[in-house]
Structure formats: C-alpha cells, structure tokens
Amino acid sequence: MRVAVIGVGRMGRHHVRIYSQLAELVAVSDVNEESGRQIASQFKCKYYKNYLEMLDSEKLDAVSVVVPTPMHKQVAMAVIQRKINLLIEKPIATNIPDGLEIVKAARTAKVKLMVGHVERFNPAIIKLRELLDSGTLGEISSVIARRVGVAGGAIGNYENLLVDLAIHDVDIINYILQKTPDKKFCLKGKAINNREDYADILLSYGHTNAFIQVNWITPIKIRTLHITGSKGYAELDYVNQDLKLYKLNYTTDYSNYKDFVVKFGQSDVINIDVLKDEPLKLELMAFLNAVKNDTETPMPGEEAIKALEIVLSLN
C-alpha cells in the first residue's frame, strides 16, 4: 500500500508516523516547507510543497487529507479526481453542501472515502458498544458527555467550538444509540476568548436524553462518557481508555434508613477489560484494510455529514 499525507501540522504528523509503520509512506505535502522537509527527512519519504504535483507524480493507493477545514473540499476533490482513496480528518467540510459534493464525487469515482472521527476507534468505545449491543445496560435513559480543557495551541480563525469538540460526542452518541436526535437545544457563550468557548447541549433521542458539555476553558482535560440504563450504569474515560460498569442494585425491600444505606450505598463495580491501543492507529488500519479488501469504510462520509449537520444546527 503506497500512501501519502497532505498537511503535516499538529495532527498530520501523527498520520505520517503511523503510516510509516503500516504501509509504504511515499510522500508528504505541506505549504510550510521547513516543517514539510523536516518530516519527510525524519520518515525518509519525498516532500512536495504543491500537493497537486505530488498527486500527479506519485502512484498512490491512499491519501490522508489533514489540512485546515476550509481547504477540505478543494483538496479532497483533487484527490478524488485522480481516483485515489482518501481519509479526510473531521469535519468532512465546513458546510453540508460541500460535504455532500465530496461524498457524491467519491461514489461516482468509486474511491474509498473515510472521515477521521477518531473516537470511534477508541478501544473503550469499541468495548462499550459491545456491552450496549449485548443488552448489558438494558434500555438507555441518559447519556452525559464532557469534553473540556484549555485549547492546545492557537485557535485558528476558522475553528468553531461545536465543530472542533462537540462533533466528536454527537457522532459517538449517534453511533452507540444507532439513531440521530429528534430534538436539539444548545446554550453557549464567551468566557475568556473573543469567540464562543463554552457550550451545553441537550439532545433528545426518543426515550433517551443526551447532555454534552464542551469548552476551551476548563484548566484540566476531561474526556468522559456516562451512560445510565435500566440494568446498570457505565463510566468511560477516553484518555485513559478505562471503562467501569455498575450493576443496578435497586430494590424496594428495606426496613429502615440504615438498611437502605447498606443496600444502596455501594453498587457492584466491574472494571471492564479494555485492550488499550492508539485510536488513530486503529483508525488508519481500518482505512487501509477497507482499501485493500475493497470493503466499505467504517466511518463513511454520509455518517460524518449527519454529525456535522447536527452541530451546525446548534450554531
């Protein structure tokens, strides 16, 4: 598998690192010649300042597009026109029409298109989905997600809090519930930045309510998911890839307050065994496997558009 990366900034350099372990890394392209050449030298591949020149000069099986979001459509269309399979970092585009155009072009050209919603490949999420599919938690009544922490590095002028952060949780909740919300509500504001930097979102999925808190201001990084079901409660930490299951211990059989405390004070806790691994590595492996085996990618453009459509409707 001959692969390349367009855009080797904060996220793109990790694509380069992992591809160098999984496939034949042919080339990288970036408008920043200094960093582009440095990455190319480090990983022993070619460097191109102009990505079009790279696409026309090299025989490639797959490309990661890791450029600023406003450039997604332009770069993606160039890759698709050359019938090269591509992975685009989330979000798929800045707006729905551009996203739909990318999806349609990829389908017409018969190339694989995957969007980089990396949290789907977090081992803890994979294990949680297995628990939900097996009915371990019963009927889900509520989901609470927190994705907060001071923004790393400078916030680009094109970046939007909901598209940058909340889209992860919207997609994960859609994914684990296997549906999209029928009602949406959002409160947001500005605290320490000159743009909106905190938001609280409430989504209704029929009988399931989901609350998402995102911000760029909390002084510690928190990435958690809490799920309450009719048979128990699950607690997930994305960063540490920890997953805990609390079994329901509800009963009406107690005679006094002391008896109540004994019966309800501590639920049985099960630390779910999670085989920890780097989510981005698992994501790129899944992408390359879909290309190699000619199967559908596990995060197709259509599902990425659903998540983008929801967060854009909250702006």
Assign residue 138 the CATH number of its domain: 3.30.360.10
The pLDDT tens digits for 280-310 are 999 999 999 999 999 999 999 999 999 999 9
Tokens found for residue 73: 């459509």
104 and 173 both lie in a single domain? no
Total of domains in the chain: 2
Residue 200 lies in a domain: yes
The pLDDT confidence band at residue 204, using thresholds 50, 70 and 90, is very high
The pLDDT confidence band at residue 194, using thresholds 50, 70 and 90, is confident
68 and 23 both lie in a single domain? yes
This prediction's pTM:
0.92
The pLDDT tens digits for 178-188 are 999 999 999 99
Confidence at residue 193, expressed as pLDDT on a 0 to 100 scale = 83
Q: Is the pLDDT of residue 209 over 70?
A: yes
Q: What residue numbers bound the domain in which 271 lies?
A: 123-240+242-275
**Chain-centre distance of CA 16, in angstroms?**
18
Please tell me what DSSP assigns to residue 241: T
The pLDDT tens digits for 129-172 are 999 999 999 999 999 999 999 876 555 555 799 999 999 999 99
The pLDDT tens digits for 71-118 are 999 999 999 999 999 999 999 999 999 999 999 999 999 999 999 999
Q: What distance in Å separates the CA atoms of residue 148 and residue 165, rounded to the nearest whole number?
A: 8
Q: Are 182 and 210 in contact, with CB atoms under 8 Å apart?
A: no
Half-sphere exposure of 274 (CA within 13 A, CB side): 29
Task: For residue 281, give every residue at least 6 positions away whose Cβ sits within 8 Å of its Cβ, in sequence order, or none.
Answer: 18, 21, 22
75 and 181 both lie in a single domain? no
Q: What distance in Å separates the CA atoms of residue 113 and residue 110, rounded to the nearest whole number?
A: 9
Region 228-241: what's the mean pLDDT? 96
Confidence at residue 24, expressed as pLDDT on a 0 to 100 scale = 98
Tokens found for residue 186: 């959002």
Confidence at residue 123, expressed as pLDDT on a 0 to 100 scale = 98
The candidate with the shortest Cα–Cα distance to 195, out of 154, 223, 167, is 154
Tokens found for residue 297: 């990618």
